Amino acid sequence: TAERGLAGSPPHPTHPHRPGAMRLHARAGGAVCLALLLPLRAARAQVRNLRFDDTDATADQVAGILYWEQPLAGTSGLGSYAAFFSTSHAAGGTETRVGSDVLVGAWTSELVIPATAVPAGALYLLMYTRDNAGSLVTGTVAYTCLKDLQSGASSGYARTLYFTARGYATAAAARTYLSTQPVCAAQRHRIDVRMVATVYYDTAPSPAPASPTEEPFDDSSGQGQACATSSDCTGSHECTEGQCHSSTAIFLVSLPTGDGFTSAVAALDGGGYLAGSSVPAFYTGEGSSGSGYSLGLVEVSSVMDAFVPERPDPDVAFYLSRTLVGFRVALAALADRRGNVHLLTMSTKTAAVDEVTNVWMGYRNATFSDMGASDDILPSFTPYVSATSQAQCWQVTSDLSHPSCT
Domain of residue 63, CATH code: 2.60.40.10
| pLDDT tens by residue, 273-289 | 999 898 999 999 999 99
Distance between the two ends of the chain, CA-based, in angstroms? 76
More confident: 39 or 323: 323
Four-point Cα dihedral 394, 399, 400, 406, nearest 10: 0
375 pLDDT band, cuts 50/70/90, is confident
189 secondary structure, DSSP code: G
From CA 200, how far away is CA 311, in angstroms rounded?
A: 26
Check pLDDT > 80 for residue 164: yes
Q: What share of the chain is helix, strand, coil (3-state, %, to 5)?
A: 20, 30, 45
- The answer to whether the CB of 333 falls within 8 A of the CB of 324 is yes
**Position 128 in a domain:** yes
State the total domains in the chain. Answer: 2
Share of the chain above pLDDT 90, in %: 71
**Position 351 in a domain:** yes
Question: How many Cβ atoms sit within 10 Å of the Cβ of residue 136?
Answer: 16
Check pLDDT > 80 for residue 299: yes
| pLDDT tens by residue, 109-124 | 999 999 999 999 999 9
Sheet bearing 61-69, strands edge to edge: 48-52, 61-69, 108-117
**Position 297 in a domain:** yes
Which residues does 141 contact at the CB level (< 8 Å), separation at least 6?
A: 46, 90, 91, 126, 127, 128
**Position 272 in a domain:** no
Check pLDDT > 70 for residue 248: yes
Q: Which domain holds residue 319?
A: 287-382
**Position 389 in a domain:** no
**Position 227 in a domain:** no
> Among the three residues 92, 119, 145, which one is the final residue of a domain in this structure?
145
From CA 82, how far away is CA 20, in angstroms rounded?
A: 32
- Pick the closest to residue 86 from 117, 118, 56, 113 (CA basis): 118
> Among the three residues 124, 145, 166, which one is the final residue of a domain in this structure?
145
Average pLDDT over residues 225-247: 96
The CATH number that applies at residue 316 is 3.30.70.120
> What's the pLDDT at 308?
63
> Among the three residues 145, 167, 187, which one is the final residue of a domain in this structure?
145
- Residue 109 φ/ψ, nearest 5 degrees: -110, 165
pTM: 0.85
> What's the pLDDT at 303?
76
Q: How far is CA 18 from the centre of its chain?
A: 39
Share of the chain above pLDDT 70, in %: 86
**Position 38 in a domain:** no
| pLDDT tens by residue, 58-86 | 999 999 999 999 999 899 999 999 999 99
**Position 370 in a domain:** yes
> What's the pLDDT at 395?
86
